Amino acid sequence: MLCLHYLILATVAFAQDPKDLKFDKYSTDQGLSQSNITAIVQDKMGFVWLGTTDGLNRFDGYNFTVFVNDPQVPTSISSNAIQALCIDRSGVLWVGTQSGLCRTTDGGLSFERLKGEQNATLHNDNITAIFEEKSGNILIGTQGGLYKTSDGGKSFKQIGNDARKGASLVSDVITAITADNNGVLWVGTFGGGVAKSTDGGQTFTSFQHNPDNAKTISSDTITGIAIDKKNRVWITTFGGGLNGLYPNRKDFDRLRHSLNRSDDDMMTSICLANDENLWIGSVGRLWRYNPNSKKEPWRNYTVARGLSDNHITVVYQDKAGLIWAGTFGGGVNITDPYGSAKFDYVIVKRRNPRDDRFYNEDVSAVWEEGTDKDGYPILLVGTTSNGLFRVYKNILSRLPIEEAKAAAPAAGKGKKSKPVKRKAKPAKQGKKVEAKKSERTLSSNSVSVLLRDKSGVLWVGTDNGLNYYDTTDGRGFAVFKSTSDNPKSLNDNFITALCEDKSGNLWVGTKNGLHKLAKANRYDTTKGGQFALFKTASGLSSNDITVLFEDKSGALWIGTRDAGLCRTTDGGATFTKFTASPQGLTNNTITSICQDKKGAIWVSILGGGLCRTVDNGATFTPFRERDGLASDVVFGAVADEDGNLWLKTRKGITKFSPPNDVAAKDRKGGLFRNYDKRDGLLVRQFDAGGYHIGASGAIYFGGLGVVHTFYPEDLKDNDDAFVPPVVITGLTKFDGTQFTRDSSIIIKKDIELAPKDYLFTVEFSALSYYLQEKNQYQYKLEGFDKIWVDARKGQHEATYTNIEPGKYVFRVKAAGPDGIWNEEGASLTVDIVPPLWKRLWFQVLAFLSGVGLIVGLTSFTQQQRIKRIERQKEELEFQVQARTKDLAESNLKLEQTNKSLAESKKQLEESNQEILEKNREITSSIEYAKTIQLALLPSRDRLKRALLEYFILYRPKDIVSGDFYWLHETTDKVIFVVADCTGHGVPGAFMSMIGESLLGQLVIEKNISNPAHILNEMHKNVRQALNQTDEIGSGQDGMDMGVCVIYKSAELGGTKRVCYAGARRPLYYVNAGNGEFHEVKGDKFSIGGWQRESDRKYTAHDLNIEIGSMLYMTTDGYADQPDAQMRVFAAKRLREFLKNIALDKTERQFKLLESELEKHQGSEPQRDDITVVGIRVI
């Protein structure tokens, strides 16, 4: 094995750098009115406004609201061709267009078109620039001069047109306006250079290009001006690049980049960032210029580095520090220029000489041996198939080698300092050292756990024994293994956990019990050693141990697989068990245990998030995805010196700052910050194994092909971190016939709803703009909701129905990507008006009217009643005489009839009894058929073992079902089938039994695994079983079916191969990384029945699906179920619903689907058999 496989490990220092930016892109595909961006500005509420050549856009991070000119609406915008935008100090938005100037004070609901009064008007409607002076005056640049207004646009005065020589602007075409810290006005023009005014625009001094003087400005076509804190003036030109003018100097510096391309000197805009860097747009790319750097001041970004288009038209920095780059045809790009994280990493790859390709190696264990005097870490890295390696200064060495004697300082001796930040060098392949015959190597190349004990001895757990490095003779590793002739040897050779207690005893977890190796015997490997064994008979909840941890009090905590947590305080004499329960753990498979500086015990759980106990396990407080955790699948947790927890999850790394009060039950008392690939991680998700916090304070998280390393202090959030404003962006109401959306809600504090508006939805947004998908929300309708409601991931709206009349206050608060909450949030008063009959005045009037009516009716009724009684008395006397005679005659006939009825009754009872007996027999038979049918379905144990994380919603319409699902597992794949047979009830059940039988013959006996081939053969066999021919009328019985083959081994890039074929049934799947929904359509014909085509062929779809994604297979019953108004649920609605719940845990998905179905169905009977299956790709 050693001579066939080599490892290359590269230690690369990584930190978010402006040259490695990631861009979010928005264009017409996301709702922009047009992709040619001309101007960008952010208003006081936090909305970003984008001007285009075809409309003005207001962006809330999720949606664009578009404003366009309507000739029939005088309050609409002047023109669709936007050229300049400005927000003044009072929050008014000024908009310059090709056809005039306008402004809005109400968020775009109405625009005031500004022309000015007689003799004080704008003489040119082509607005090119807008700027507010410190005095509050608004300067307007046009293609016909420069204007000033001091009264909000009622009147305008032209400036810069002094007829005196040298005192006016050289050109009337204004392109840029700004002012320095002293109020000096700078104006750029087209063809007239740049000019400044020190007297408020009465006179100007111009600076123009002189081709014979290199110290003049490089071009007279000015496109942008920026002035920094030192009053340095930076000017971009079209064709002349960037120019700099220092205070008290008249000479310009022409600042050139290294690229000799004309389009890169055609600069279009400039933005001075908070850190004094200049962001510059050009026809050829986006530039960043650092005026304080002499070594490498220029950086550039193009399509190749993530931009949507190379032609940059405008650059802007918002309040959060994000850079917005508008393009010509590619929409707008948004990036964080500072980054948010610093992650170093170790690349772990295996080269296979057979194809000379590199493959990711799975890191199973990491241990920091210490750091050298310069702060370089010394690491041990265990792998699942290539043994143990030592990494130091970009060089790897395989252990055991001679250096192993002095592999590192003893644990705790390492210098607590950061590695020296040096430029990463290519990794060097470790020198191959042939093992001497006398050397003892590891008992297995599959390393599972590492530990350096207090005496400096290295312990290595593998899948084939426990090893320690023997320093007495320099001969390498000694091993403890299970031996049949020593009952005190290891009970199992698969080592899963190691822990050294305060007394120096070594605790060893295996897949078949817990072992204790006393300090006195820890180096005696004779006959497998002298271990004390603890199993379920000793009080453990399970023999399958996953993690061991000793807390500060000396108690030993034992995590297990599927059986919860145990604790012993007396060396294993007794164990206390903790399992999943409402006040206990959230699940029973434990992945890690740690203790924070306040003494709280933290337990990470596979599929159950994180649990905390402060009372030795009496109660546990859960922290889950709904609270802000990236994923409920947590593989490792460590606590840093500041009390923060760092979690290795399926979806990246999470930092969790617990509540200050360790006993607090408020889940939002803690703060979550989730890191993923966009923060610099190399992997999209982690798997089990390989987590460690070193004596230096560095944290190490291993994954497929990489070990990420970082110092917690490098990832501390800034004290002045941006807290995004929270706004209510829209309200949609439904009155029973149509939906109506009100976008004016952004400026309203209250709203009134009519009684008919029984359903309403409030939309909201945290205006952070970058990594918007990481925003978290909580909302509450005061007066209705008793507690804050956690919005699901991706949800930024709240819907309410059938709320009682009254006044309510809707409140929403949010946290941005950094996890910092805006507790003030936003609010809206909602007044639901009662219907007419519920209003007080109507009820009082109705009561009084009713009393009067009752009194009048009572008097009239009494008189009529007396007369009616007298008439009835007379009639009654006559009728009594006549009826007495008739009664005597009828009695005789009645006696004869009763006798006949008695005989008929007896016969009817006998017939009914016979029918009941037949019904009982038929029902009993069908019930037994149900038992048989359920027995044929895969058992829960088989499903759990094969699929790991799944749900099945299975609802027959009748006692037995025409739907069925089928599973078969092999060593390398799982084959899963969902089928919908013709009909339901007994006929459908018979068809399902035929289908299950045929699948067993084809897949198990004939070993057919290609899903398309399975369907082809099923079609032939069903037709044969039902004697179907190609003649019309020969029978259409058959089934719709989907066959999904899931391969067990992971592909490169963290994906798994899935192969699908469908007969009139699709496969849905939702990507774990980006949440995108995909539909793989099945072929258009069913299995069975007559066919027109000569040969029916089904199509196999080969897919590479990201691990963590959800697969969905359904029959048509759910989508076709009607409500009380006979409206079906619909396939489109089902697809949207599945997309929205895909990130939830499968148990929750099942409950949500059940709840949604019951809510839709109401009292309407079930129409068809229903089956929905969800499978997590793991």
Please determine, for residue 334, whether its predicted confidence score (pLDDT) is greater than 90: yes
Maximum CA extent, the chain: 142
> Domain for residue 592, yes or no?
no
Structurally, the chain folds into a number of domains equal to 5
Q: Is residue 505 very low, low, confident or very high in pLDDT (cuts 50, 70, 90)?
A: very high
In a domain, 522, yes or no: no
Residue whose entry in the numeric block shows the structure tokens 């022309």: 115
Are 144 and 123 in contact by the 8 Å Cβ rule? The answer is: yes
Domain of residue 860 covers 839-886
> What CATH number should be reported for the domain holding residue 769?
2.60.40.10
Task: Write the pLDDT tens digit of every residue in 604-659.
Answer: 999 899 999 999 999 999 998 878 788 899 999 999 998 999 999 988 899 998 87
What pLDDT band is residue 45 in, cutting at 50, 70 and 90? Answer: very high
What one-letter code names the amino acid at 126?
Answer: N
Asked if residue 118 is part of any domain, the answer here is yes
For 772-801, the pLDDT digits (tens) are 888 889 999 999 998 999 888 788 999 998
From the centroid of its chain, how far is CA 949? 18
Are 5 and 40 in a shared domain?
no
For residue 901 the two structure tokens come to 């009825």
Residues 805 and 847 in one domain: no
Report how far apart, in Å, the C-alpha atoms of 1050 and of each of 173, 353, 362, 890, 1047 are.
62, 21, 11, 92, 8
Phi, psi torsion values for 877, nearest 5 degrees: -60, -40
- Of 159, 175, 198, which residue sits at a domain end? 159
> Are residues 806 and 740 part of one domain?
yes
pLDDT per position as a tens digit, 1048-1106: 887 756 789 999 999 999 999 999 878 899 999 999 889 987 766 656 789 999 999 99
Residue 1017 lies in a domain: yes
**Mean pLDDT of the region 865-878:** 70
Q: Which among 967, 954, 947 has a CA at the least distance from the CA of 1056?
A: 947
Helices 985-999 and 1011-1025 pack at an angle, to 10 degrees, of 120
Q: Three-state SS for 636?
A: strand
End-to-end alpha-carbon separation of the chain, Å? 28
Are 142 and 125 a contacting pair, CB within 8 Å?
yes
744 lies in the same domain as 821: yes
Same domain flag for 1005 and 1040: yes
Residues 8 and 133 in one domain: no
Q: What is the pLDDT of residue 840?
A: 59
Single-letter amino acid, residue 885 = K
Mean pLDDT for the chain? 85
The answer, as to whether pTM is greater than 0.75, is no
pLDDT for residue 1107 is more than 80: yes
Residue-wise pLDDT tens digits, 1116-1141: 999 999 988 888 999 999 999 999 99
In a domain, 1124, yes or no: yes
From the list 770, 660, 859, the residue with the least C-alpha distance to 321 is 770
Does residue 1098 share a domain with residue 987?
yes
User: 867 and 992 share a domain?
Assistant: no
- Confidence (pLDDT) at 629: 85
Q: Is residue 803 part of a domain?
A: yes
Which pLDDT value is given to residue 543?
96
Cα–Cα distance between 462 and 350 in angstroms, integer? 19
Q: Would residue 1067 count as lying in a domain?
A: yes
Are 1123 and 1077 within one domain? yes
Which residues, 6+ apart, have CB-to-CB distance to 563 below 8 Å?
Answer: 541, 542, 544, 579, 588
Could you give the percent of the chain with pLDDT greater than 70?
Answer: 83
Residue 5: per-residue pLDDT: 39
Domain boundary among 101, 136, 159: 159
The reply to whether 791 and 880 lie within a common domain is no
The whole-angstrom separation of Cα 978 and Cα 960 is 16
**188-237 residue pLDDT tens:** 999 999 999 999 898 999 999 999 999 999 999 999 999 999 999 999 99
Assign residue 89 the CATH number of its domain: 2.130.10.10
Range from 94-98, 336-340, 896-900, 1017-1021 that averages highest in pLDDT: 94-98
Among the listed ranges 604-618, 974-988, 1003-1017, which one has the minimum average pLDDT value? Answer: 974-988
pLDDT of residue 65 exceeding 80, the answer is yes
Distances (CA, A) of 385 to 132, 442, 452, 704, 909: 67, 12, 21, 12, 79
Structural domain contains residue 313:
no
Rounded to whole angstroms, how far apart are CA atoms 983 and 957? 10
* Last residue of one domain, picked from the residues 159, 175, 197: 159
* 952 in the same domain as 810: no
Same domain, residue pair 866 and 784 = no
CATH number at 951 reads: 3.60.40.10
Predicted confidence band at 1178 (pLDDT cuts at 50, 70, 90)?
Answer: confident
Q: Centre a 10 Å sphere on the Cβ of residue 311 and count the other Cβ atoms it contains.
A: 20
What are the pLDDT digits (tens) for 539-598? 999 999 999 999 999 999 999 999 999 999 999 999 999 999 888 999 999 999 999 999
HSE at residue 1001, side-chain half, CA atoms within 13 A, is: 11
Question: Mean pLDDT lowest for which of 36-45, 271-280, 385-394, 851-860?
Answer: 851-860
**Is the per-residue pLDDT at 411 higher than 50?**
no
Q: Identify which of 139, 254, 142, 141 has the alpha carbon closest to the alpha carbon of residue 200.
A: 139
Structure tokens at 832: 């639901």
Q: Tell me the average pLDDT across 762-774.
A: 91
How high is the pLDDT of residue 120?
82
